[in-house]
Amino acid sequence: MIAVKIIFYKKLMQEEFLQILRTLKQNVFIMTSGQENNRCAVTVSSVTSLSLEPPLIIVCINKNASMHKLLKKDNKFCLNLLNSSQKDLANLCSSEEDGESRFSKGQWLKYDPSYLSDAQSNIFCTMDEIYTFNSHSLVVGKIYELKHSGTKDPLIYQDGDYE
């Protein structure tokens, strides 16, 4: 009986935590890694700066995501900050589609790694560290190149939808 109450309490806490998280507004990125014929793109919103000296950024990735496996092989990645008109790309890169099909829309430039040329900004990184916790990993990226359009019109994610 006590075990059932603990499980019930944990489930309630998870649901309440999710409700709190859904109130947050988050910028939407597409994280890319790999090179042609072995590249990956995934929509992420758990991104935050870590330091300016040296310039570091953190992104959270599900351990079951194909991106997680690719990062172990190719330690370069790009965080493409989407603008408000790129909701279709965010949906595509968070869908069941995988691999090259995620690069079927948008203006992707083949680089190491590929990047979205019409994104609001592009943050190019090498993986500095990866820390695994339960279902996700914190990936620390050391920034080596930046591209910024100068605009301030990011795609925002809140309450399960894009703004």
What are 25-71's pLDDT values in tens digits? 999 999 999 877 789 999 999 999 999 999 999 999 999 888 888 88
Query: In this structure, what token pair is assigned to residue 138?
Result: 């914190």
> In the beta sheet, which residues pair with residue 156?
27
Domains of the chain by residue range: 27-162
Query: In this structure, what token pair is assigned to residue 94?
Result: 């968070």
CB atoms within 10 A of CB 110: 11
Query: In this structure, what token pair is assigned to residue 102?
Result: 């995620």
- Domain spanning 27-162: which CATH class is it, in words? mainly beta
Q: The whole model's pTM is what?
A: 0.90
